[in-house]
């Protein structure tokens, strides 16, 4: 029997090895043909992701390749010309960060202006108490929403797993960012949609519909965000930096600070993998945006982190939510 697309994707990725920060091949037949990425300066076992949509990615010698993904490499500010007046469609947010409307007249939605903070997540756990019921089948193993890490009220919450993030967004009247097409939410981002900046909500917002490599512009700025290239990168997550704004005005920290969970593919480990047969809890999900120790062109909006199991509560992963 011929393998399906998702199975082929997993086999292609694992053929390059499961070692942390190793190279992962681009999935032939699903994604644009691009060069394999160089090493990510990640932590805690996250593997390198893939760059899609044309192929700008760090090469082994630190160089880059040209990419049609960004029409103007000299852009240094987000271009939010989207063909509609976002102020006419205000976003509301009863819980969590304020929201910003992004997209086009034909296909727009709201996204949190920042990653969910410690104080905002505590509001959720206080409201829920010990009640962790009502979760989807892939999260029935999750019996607590308690975060693995804390800190000052205004820094992003870390140490929450995929199911915690999903439950928070639902409680807040929002959702984990997924796929939005033709003016409506269509559910999870599939493997074939990971590089689609017109429908992948997280990627659309970060890249301003493919106009920007980095949320703040077309050229990588090592001091704009909380990354491994400045002092803040050695202090874990911090309060949003004013310069780390875009791909739409009012949206912060889409790269750096923390990787972010989103509603994308979580793929079962193959037989014999070191994760074992742990069911949905051990499925490997994708994360976006890089964290406080990541650096360079690996903070491109298109880079996907891979290797975070659904039950992972690490110091390098947080989240934000989307809504209509």
Question: Quick check: is 40 in a domain?
Answer: no
Higher-confidence residue: 112 or 68? Answer: 112
What is the per-residue pLDDT across 149-192, written as a single tens digit (0 to 9) for each? 988 999 999 999 999 999 999 999 999 999 999 999 999 999 99
Q: Is residue 188 part of a domain?
A: yes
Calculate mean pLDDT across residues 214-228: 92
| pLDDT of 40 over the 50 cut | no
Q: Is pLDDT of 142 > 50?
A: yes
Round to whole Å and give the CA distance between 80 and 208.
Answer: 7
Whether 172 is in a domain gets the answer yes
CA-closest candidate to residue 99, choices 248, 199, 226 = 248
Of 293, 224, 322, 298, nearest to 57 by C-alpha is 298
Whether pLDDT at 53 is above 50? no
Q: CA 202 to CA 207: how far, in whole Å?
A: 9
Q: What is the CATH number of the domain that holds 314?
A: 3.90.1580.10
- Given the DSSP bridges, would you call strands 284-288 and 304-309 parallel, antiparallel or unpaired? antiparallel
Please tell me the total count of domains within the chain. 1
241-271 tens-digit pLDDT: 889 999 999 999 999 999 999 999 999 876 5
| 274 confidence band (pLDDT: 50, 70, 90) | low
What is the tens place of the pLDDT at every residue in 291-305?
A: 998 888 889 999 999
Q: Which domain holds residue 178?
A: 79-324
| 1 is a domain residue | no
295 in a structural domain: yes
Q: Which residue has the higher pLDDT, 72 or 277?
A: 277
Q: What's the Cα-to-Cα distance from 241 to each of 159, 206, 296, rounded to whole Å?
A: 21, 16, 17
The answer to whether position 18 is within a domain reads: no
In a domain, 293, yes or no: yes
Average pLDDT, the chain: 77
Q: In this predicted model, which residue has the larger pLDDT, 236 or 191?
A: 191
Q: Confirm whether 182 is domain-assigned.
A: yes
pLDDT at 237: 73
This prediction's pTM:
0.79
């Amino acid at each position: 029997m011929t393998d399906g697309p998702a199975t082929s994707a997993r086999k292609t990725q694992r053929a390059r090895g499961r070692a942390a920060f190793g190279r992962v091949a681009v999935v032939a037949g699903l994604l644009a043909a691009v060069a394999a990425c160089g090493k990510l300066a990640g932590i805690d076992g996250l593997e390198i992701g893939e760059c899609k949509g044309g192929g700008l990615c760090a090469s082994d010698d630190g160089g880059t390749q040209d990419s049609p993904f960004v029409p103007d490499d000299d852009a240094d500010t987000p271009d939010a010309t989207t063909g509609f007046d976002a102020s006419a469609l205000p976003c509301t947010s009863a819980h969590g960060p304020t929201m910003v409307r992004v997209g086009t007249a034909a296909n727009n939605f709201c996204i949190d202006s920042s990653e969910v903070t410690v104080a905002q997540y505590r509001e959720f756990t206080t409201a829920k108490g010990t009640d962790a019921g009502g979760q989807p089948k892939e999260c029935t193993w999750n019996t607590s929403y308690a975060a693995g890490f804390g800190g000052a009220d205004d820094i992003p919450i870390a140490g929450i797993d995929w199911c915690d993030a999903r439950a928070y967004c639902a409680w807040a009247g929002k959702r984990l960012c997924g796929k939005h097409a033709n003016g409506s939410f269509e559910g999870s981002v599939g493997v074939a949609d990971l590089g689609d900046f017109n429908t992948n909500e997280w990627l659309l917002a970060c890249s301003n519909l493919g106009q920007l490599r980095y949320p703040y512009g077309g050229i990588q700025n090592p001091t704009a965000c909380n990354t491994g290239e400045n002092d803040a990168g050695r202090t874990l997550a911090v309060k949003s930096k004013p310069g780390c704004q875009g791909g739409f005005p009012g949206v912060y920290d889409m790269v750096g600070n923390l990787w972010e969970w989103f509603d994308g593919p979580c793929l079962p480990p193959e037989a014999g993998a070191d994760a074992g047969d742990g069911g949905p809890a051990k499925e490997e999900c994708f994360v976006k945006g890089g964290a406080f120790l990541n650096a360079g062109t690996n903070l491109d909006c298109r880079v996907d982190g891979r290797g975070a199991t659904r039950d992972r509560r690490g110091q390098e992963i947080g989240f934000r939510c989307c809504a209509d």
